[in-house]
Amino acid sequence: EVQLVESGGGLVQPGGSLRLSCEGSGFTFSSYEMNWVRQAPGKGLEWVSYISNSGSTIYYADSVKGRFTISRDNAKNSLYLQMNSLRADETAIYYCARGGGAEPRLLAHWGQGTLVTVSS
C-alpha cells in the first residue's frame, strides 16, 4: 500500500522559515515524480512545486519561486520543501503527492498533509 507521511509543519512568524518532509513507503520512491500541493483554510487546491524522479527537473508556482526549494533524497525515500520568507497568506495544509508513473502530470497518491501556520 502506498503511504506518504508529511511532517515538519507548525507555527512560524511572518518572514520565517520552515522545512517540510514527506516520507514515502509501499512503492519504489526513486521511480516517481513528486509534488507539493497546498490548501489554505476553506480554500481550493494550489500546486506548489514538482520534482522529477531523479531530481534533475524542478518546477515552481510563480507565487513561491525564489523562496521555496524542493528536493528529494531517494536513498531515504524522502521529499522535502524548504520554505523561506513565509507570508501570512501561506497558512495552509501542505500535501505531498506522488505522480502517476506511466500517466503523466497527475497526482496519483496523496499524504494526509501537514499544517503550516504563519502568524505573529
Partner 1 sequence: QSVLTQPPSVSGAPGQRVTISCTGSSSNLGAGYGVHWYQQPPGTAPKLLIYGNGNRPSGVPDRFSGSKSGTSASLAITGLQAEDEADYYCQSYDSSLSGYVFGTGTTVTVL
Say whether residue 100 binds partner 1 (CB under 8 A): yes
- For position 42 contacting partner 1 by CB under 8 A, the verdict is no
Total of chain residues touching partner 1, rule CB under 8 A: 24
- DSSP character string of the chain: --EEEEE--EEE-TT--EEEEEEEESS-GGGS-EEEEEE-TT--EEEEEEE-TTS--EEE-TTTTTTEEEEEEGGGTEEEEEE-S--GGG-EEEEEEE-BTTB-S---EE---EEEEE--
Given the complex with partner 1, which of 13 and 89 has the nearer CB atom? 89
User: Minimum distance between the CB of residue 80 and partner 1, rounded to whole angstroms?
Assistant: 19
The least CB distance from residue 34 to partner 1, in Å, is: 12
Asked if 36 contacts 70 with a C-beta cutoff of 8 angstroms, the reply is yes
Which parts of 43-82 interact with partner 1 (CB under 8 A)?
44-47, 50, 59-62
Least spacing, CB of residue 110 vs partner 1, in Å: 5
Binding site for partner 1 (CB under 8 A): 35, 37, 44-47, 50, 59-62, 95, 100, 103-113
